[in-house]
Copies of this chain bind each other. A is one copy, B any other.
Amino acid sequence: MSAIRVTVWNEFRHEKNDAKVKEIYPRGLHQVIAAALATDSDLEVRTATLDELHHGLTDEVLAGTDVMIWWGHMHHPEVSDEIADKVVKRVWDGMGFVALHSSHFSKPFKRLMGTECNLLWREDDKRETLWVVDPTHPIAAGIDQKIVLPRTEMYGEWFQIPTPDEIIFISWFEGGEVFRSGCTWKRGKGRVFYFRPGHETLPIFHNPEIQRVIHNGVRWAANRTP
């Protein structure tokens, strides 16, 4: 079977402008995610970022991507409508789409959902526990009952998304909130996975369990039938 071609897209601004973020992700959080995936020889991983020409997403790159991972935060409006629509179109045509953390507000994700995707949030650097509520789902493979993150940003309900096809993780936050943290939808021929963790000021993407879930999510979104 041919390789699964993955493109990790990152806004890549915080890492250049904020010393704290730079320390955690000196080359950008996309590089940490890409490196974790690259240990799987079935995957061919490349990256793309906002400030590249066409945000790094030329027609050729899009056509050659089986699964796209997306991380955006403060600069969603700077993603051109044209590129956002091309990404959405590729999902309809079969590309998998893994939206991380604050990408709930990204143009491609909102257009795929058809909703506002609003939520509660608070920077409080307290504990989050992601409970597995669908333990035999391939995206939860290797995760035993829960993932504990000692310090995270809080996201709370009501998360304004369409009814998920599947809910895999529900988060508990020390400050008193809950959140549907791992959700899937089908859109056309493409599979979409939203995964909550990932604030830029915390080393979330260095966590092996988070890397494992993203890796599982990529393989699930690629929808390769043995």
23 contacts between A and B (CB under 8 A): A88-B114, A92-B115, A92-B116, A111-B111, A129-B176, A129-B177, A131-B156, A131-B158, A131-B177, A131-B178, A132-B157, A132-B158, A133-B180, A136-B189, A138-B223, A162-B162, A170-B178, A171-B178, A172-B173, A172-B177, A216-B225, A219-B226, A226-B226
Copies in the complex: 4
A204 to B168, CA, bound (A): 30
A178 touches B172 (CB 8 A): yes
Assembled-state Cα–Cα distance A135/B190 (Å): 11
Asked if A225 contacts B141 (CB within 8 A), the reply is yes
Say if the beta carbon of A188 comes within 8 Å of chain B. yes
Residues of B within 8 A of A116 (CB): 92, 188
Residues of B within 8 A of A114 (CB): 88, 111-114, 162, 187
Q: Is A165 on the interface with B (CB-CB < 8 A)?
A: yes
Q: Is the CB of B162 within 8 A of A133?
A: no
Other CB < 8 Å A-B pairs besides A113-B114, A131-B177, A219-B225, 5 of them?
A: A94-B136, A138-B223, A160-B188, A162-B185, A163-B186
Residues of A in contact (CB 8 Å), total 51
9 closest pairs, A vs B, by CB?
A114-B114, A112-B114, A141-B225, A138-B225, A170-B178, A131-B157, A172-B178, A136-B189, A133-B157
